[in-house]
Structure 1
Amino acid sequence: MTGKNITKRILYCVLLAIAVSLMFFYVRNEYKTYTDSKVVKADVINVSGTKNGMLDIKYRYNYDGDKYEESARQSVGKIKVGDKKEIRIRKNAPEQIVTASIKSAILQNVAFALCLFAYVLASINLIEQIG
């Protein structure tokens, strides 16, 4: 194997390591946000469409004795003003509505694990070819 090919492979492994690291921090943050949240009952007080098909929904809810009115951009089925919905909010910042689902948090963890596995295999392959 030529030195040029080895240099390319090392560069690819470094770039893959950077990508896996960035993905790790993103997944960890999303998972922590989801697990540090609480489900509350909310009243829908306004619904408006956006250009990309998402709905801008304004909710009114109570948490720890305080009242909040906050908006979230979501893609939901049928929803109208006056509906009562369960929403997920951050415990330490109840004015923030969490729109991620547990499915997306789990799928992101699985994707991270697959990327990490690919990185390990690529590194092992590179080490075998160098040595």
Structure 2
Amino acid sequence: MDRWLLGCSVQDLAPSLLSFVSKRALAHRTVHEALQDHRWVCDIGGGISAAIVEFLKLWDALVDFPLHSDQPDQHVWTPDASGVYSASSAYKRFFLGSTTFEPCKHIWRSAALQVLKAD
């Protein structure tokens, strides 16, 4: 499900084809295991005729995909331009698309609160 292939996930590239892969293979198969001797092809079950175009596109993308065993996996936090996770970027992402309620500023600065503070 990660975006490791041409900046996309396999789900992005072949959503229909993914429905023919068992849940067990999706949950347990690593990229390295799947690419060894094209084992990912064996994970596809059923009649894939409806998804044959996606299969061929995925095959082309994976046929010569280089794996570098001497390099560790790299985690990239896409919501931030630097690619590094921060609580601030996660907080901003959490509220992405939400609306603000401007009158709340007046509620928190009401005269009633000031009177209570003076006492």
Report TM bin, short chain: under 0.3
So what's the TM-score if we normalise by structure 2? 0.22
More strand by proportion, 1 or 2? 1
The structure with more helix, counted as a fraction of residues = 2
- Greater RCO (Cα-Cα under 8 Å, separation 6 or more): 1
**TM-score, normalization by structure 1:** 0.21
Higher gyration radius (CA): 2
